[in-house]
Structure 1
């Protein structure tokens, strides 16, 4: 789609029954006359009859009270001083408008694209960070995805601020508690994939990090996930089980919002280790120390279940997870018996 914003200048005749005349068009006609064309030739090039052009010229001259051309029998027409000024005036107006016109044009196109996107995204989807989720949403149209922690995603769903939510849990007890809470609000839950969380380290694991216990070494620079994310909850649970104080970890308060951001920080040598999914470590050529498998769920309100977009999204997530290293597709509740 191409949109071009152009300046408009018209003169409105006071005479009854007379319409407005486009002065931009008139300036082009006068330019041809100024270059030596006769009114007959100039009017033909402008797409109007000689009689029509003559009439419009007379109307504009009468409205402005100034002649634009001088007609000399046998010698054609030449521009008056005002006619020459008028052409220059139109040229300058168009030139000055070009810069501001482009700004308005860009603003218009930006708003059109924004509205098109909002209209095509019918369903608000909040989900924990995951590359497969993001990939699936680009394939299945209709979802406006916002990356958020598992906790925030579920709270937005429960408060009817989202149509669908993606969350992950790493132990059966927590999963059962979440299931009970969501079920009370008649929210449907679908397991879609299993993935492995662990410690993402530099290639070759130069610091020989083997477990959570190694994070207390002050030489090890850690990078954390944000509060409310499932990955942060997993880490805090493991620390509590091991009796490790978060304050003993160098970098515990340094947070990132996605698995990829954690990997990028390690690649840039801003940190030595962080918690994330195996696939992200593999994609970035980093080392990985597995900690725990977890289940990723899709939750939605009952009225979303009948929407074909929701079914397509779940199928796409399961399909991608079945073919991606570090993941395993989960399509039946019996595959995760004890989690629901």
Structure 2
């Protein structure tokens, strides 16, 4: 487990129930990248975060501070304001002055944690995208607390040290490489565990003859969507963008569920005609399945936890189940995913 003591700024009135908390190390790194000539978009990619997410954070900080951090100069992109330059210098000075105190405090903190670990059985926190194999694996192995979250949220929780392991799925190598670089930067490790098939689930017999995503544009087709932030939603939106599809033309695009099973239940209950999901859930519920994309399911964790015995048991269980369940196959060799890392 990696522990850090990092300087933060807390914005809000004295009695504020939900103050804004800002990681100064993160902010300083982002501002320095921009100052070195990187665009905000490239700085976001380096940080492994979406442009929209970072821009919203910067807007919140500027609103709280009362001044601009970034000036947009036509023809020159984004540049640091004089206030941002002062803030980055302040953060550098602060870190230099407190470095020795941080090391001493951190040593005391880790020593105290070690004493508690000796007397308490550890419950490992595992945030993962919805997947039937992940859920079944956790049931058979003690020591893990499963938190179902979208792929993006699972990774954010890992980066914020809220969980010990993150499970997520990716369908293209370019996105995987960006995440892999971010994990390496944070001293974390990426482990491919299985490949699975994503597609569309439809009523048995496919009475509406749905064969591709473009059929969702037909006026009478009722669609049920996954929630924003989920890997399945990202896959859908990516394919739609590639094919020039407008989400506003899809009936039910705004209706969301949080798991593959919930999508299947909605179709069985005749609340929708089609929804995205994995092949195993479709077959399990007696639905037909239209194959869209193969993707890789990864686990991400800190370097130290990568050697944990409980994690090894979990990975073996996931890979065994992926041999048995339709629509899956195990991935145990990094050579098979070299282009993704």
How big is the alpha-carbon RMSD for the aligned residues of Structure 1 and Structure 2? 1.0
The reply to whether residue 164 of structure 1 matches residue 155 of structure 2 is no
CA contact (8 A) 1:121 1:141 kept: no
How far apart are 1:122 and its partner, in Å?
1.0
* SS of aligned partner of 2:176: helix
Q: Measured at CA, do residues 139 and 172 of structure 1 come closer, stay the same or move farther in structure 2, by a change above 3 Å?
A: same
Match of 1:226 in 2: 227
Structure 2: gaps (5+ residues): 1-119
Map 1:199-278 onto structure 2 (within 5 A): 199-278=200-279
How far apart are 1:218 and its partner, in Å?
1.5
**Residues 123-174 of structure 1 deviation map (CA, whole Å, 9 limit, x = unaligned):** 1100000010011111111000010000000000000000001000001111
Map 1:1-340 onto structure 2 (within 5 A): 122-340=123-341
Distance 1:306 1:242 in 2: 42
* SS of aligned partner of 1:265: helix
Structure of higher CA gyration radius: 1
Distance 2:284 2:262 in 1: 13
Distance 1:219 1:179 in 2: 41
Q: Measured at CA, do residues 121 and 265 of structure 1 come closer, stay the same or move farther in structure 2, by a change above 3 Å?
A: farther
Distance 2:221 2:246 in 1: 15
Alignment: residue pair count: 222
CA contact (8 A) 1:120 1:141 kept: no
CA contact (8 A) 1:124 1:143 kept: yes
Distance 2:279 2:150 in 1: 18
Q: Hey, which bits of structure 1, 4+ residues long, moved more than 4 A?
A: none
CA contact (8 A) 1:223 1:255 kept: yes
Distance 1:221 1:146 in 2: 30
TM-score if structure 2 supplies the norm length? Answer: 0.64
**Residues 258-310 of structure 1 deviation map (CA, whole Å, 9 limit, x = unaligned):** 00000000000000000100110011110000000000001111221232101
Structure 1: gaps (5+ residues): 1-118
Distance 1:121 1:144 in 2: 10
Distance 2:128 2:306 in 1: 17
